[in-house]
Chains A and B, each alone.
Chain A
Amino acid sequence: MSDKGRDTEPVFIGIGEQPSGRYPNRPFMGDLVRVGVAAVKDAGLTMGDIDTILLIPCLHSPADQADLVFSRVVEELGLNKRAKSQYMVHSGGSTSDNTIRDAAGLIESGHAKNVLVLQAEKWGSAPVKDMIDMLTANGIPREWEKQSGLSFNAVGALIQRRYMHDSGSTPEDMASVCVALREWANLNPNAMYKDKKLTVEQVLASKMITDPIRAMECPMLADGACALVLTSRGNARKLGQERVVRIAGSGGCVSHYSIGQERELGVLGWELAGVEAYETAGWGPEDADIAEIYDSYAAVLTSGMEGLGLAPKGEAARMFARGEFSPGGRLPTNTNGGLLSAGHTGVGGGTALLTEGVRQLLGRAGAERQVEGATRAVCGGSGGTYMDSQVLLLEGVSA
């Protein structure tokens, strides 16, 4: 990449992450400050350089979320009277994409110099039943759908059955999506399932939970934390950074609120989101080196791969089955293991995928899973009942 880039262009320069899984002894605020400090160090900055903190919400506790809103992080990081602004952005699983757009706008316009994006979640340590009831109570229309007994797994199952109907994908094909993600997780020391192998046979032998979705096709709720640092490209040059990640393109589509109002359950909003993103980037899906697309159920990922042009219509699940998106495959996809195998950290699942995309493009993914020469990443998030499809196209460049 010889793109010189304007001085005001927003770029990623650092990341931080805590391992995902069940860590009941890791306090929420402790995770936040640890990933924050790690990301600032990774960026070659000191904490005092951060003037703006953008917060990605947690879902495990209204009290902890209130702490976020009311500046506890600023105090914990010793930034009292030094931070200019801190606030929360929230659109569920697509929050990271919207937060990055916000950070980019602040930097480009001069409202912020160095932005720290922070996320932590304690879903893995919270009572599972409470969390599942919370998901059922919120985001599902209480007047029109709640009394039908719709569970969140059923939201995934409605999408998966329609995707399978449209594409002719078999249960084996869908299971292979989970297996490919597990192969990536096995290479990621921060993944919840870093040590556990998974086969298609194991997935198909697991209990049917919400037909057609089986137990091993459901995401496991996890604790986790991520942080990202963005600055201007001019500042990155002054800091002597060699490699930075720019936002080449961005697009989105809000398709529905109620799952009962999504007109194409096997498609969602990905295609509409991709058009604008590729147009602004000036490159297409065929140019992507890696993909990091929201995957809390297999069909959410396969519909995303197809809608974003990374697989021909109806072929994504079969391509997963052929290993095309696995380690060593044609297009490395969800290289951290995704939500299904790195762990579903609530709103943070999308943040973890985005963090992994930036990590890969900065060349910091470690010997085992670094995709050699990775320059272009297609990243996508989705919130609520897959109410939106948000896309960021990232590009690793010389500062």
Chain B
Amino acid sequence: MSSSNDVGMEALTEPYYEALRRGELVVQHCKACDRQIMYPRHLCPFCYADDLDFVAAPTTGVLHSFAVHRVGSPTGFEEDLPYAVGVVKLEGDVQFLARLWPDADGDWGRYACDAEVVFRAADPAEMERRPVPWFGLPG
């Protein structure tokens, strides 16, 4: 189902999606108070200025928590099973939900809360289909 938010949202979504399609990660930034903002907002949630742009984000972060879908998914994700999502915190005090790559064992057993994770985009077709940040283990 769509919402009235969907119309005109491109100004917020497109710069973010577009970077992801290029295999890059950006976050929103307020030029007035120089703070980073995630998720992107219409006005700065700190100083309410509307002078916002997007800046390159650090590519390493810390995993706050994660969950592995093994059985059952929202419609459209059945073929992805099993798959994992996690909340990643970046330097600059921003955080967001991301997809997590399987580890060297092909599962997510090597991930841990508060451990380091690294931005690593999925292939262009996947990023085109579902623009979402993907993170993996370092190395």
Contacts and interface: CB of A to CB of B under 8 A. Distances in A.
A161 interface: yes
B32 interface: no
B71 A159 contact: no
Of the four ranges (under 10, 10 to 19, 20 to 34, 35 or more), the interface on chain B belongs to 35 or more
A370 B46 CA distance: 49
Interface residues of A, number: 41
Interface string B120-139: 00000000001110000000
A25 interface: no
A181 B113 CA distance: 28
Contacts of B85: 148-150, 154, 158
A151 B132 contact: no
Given A144-B96, A165-B113, A261-B95, A136 B65 contact: no
Contacts of B9: 143
B67 A161 contact: yes
B118 interface: no
Grouping DSSP codes into helix (H, G, I), strand (E, B) and loop, the B interface class, with mixed when no group exceeds half, is loop
Nearest to B114: A165
A265 B62 CA distance: 14
Contact of A149 (B13, B66, B77): B77
Given A143-B12, A144-B39, A162 B71 contact: no
Contacts of A266: 65
A66 interface: no
B106 interface: no
A137 B77 CA distance: 13
Contacts of A165: 65, 112-114
A150 B108 CA distance: 16
B35 interface: no
A360 interface: no
B19 interface: no
B130 A147 contact: yes
B69 interface: yes
Nearest to B80: A149
B57 interface: no
Interface in B73-115: 73-77, 80, 83-87, 95-99, 108, 112-114
B74 A161 contact: no
Given A159-B65, A161-B65, A165-B65, A210 B77 contact: no
Given A209-B72, A211-B108, A147 B132 contact: yes
A271 B23 CA distance: 40
A148 B67 contact: no
B1 interface: yes
Interface of A: 129, 132-133, 136-138, 141-151, 153-154, 157-159, 161-162, 165, 207-213, 215, 258-263, 265-266
22 contacts: A137-B1, A143-B5, A143-B13, A144-B39, A144-B96, A148-B98, A148-B132, A149-B69, A150-B74, A151-B72, A158-B86, A158-B87, A161-B113, A162-B64, A211-B67, A211-B108, A258-B39, A259-B97, A260-B39, A261-B95, A265-B65, A265-B87
The 9 closest A-B pairs by CB, nearest first: A157-B67, A260-B97, A211-B68, A162-B65, A147-B130, A165-B113, A149-B77, A136-B74, A154-B67
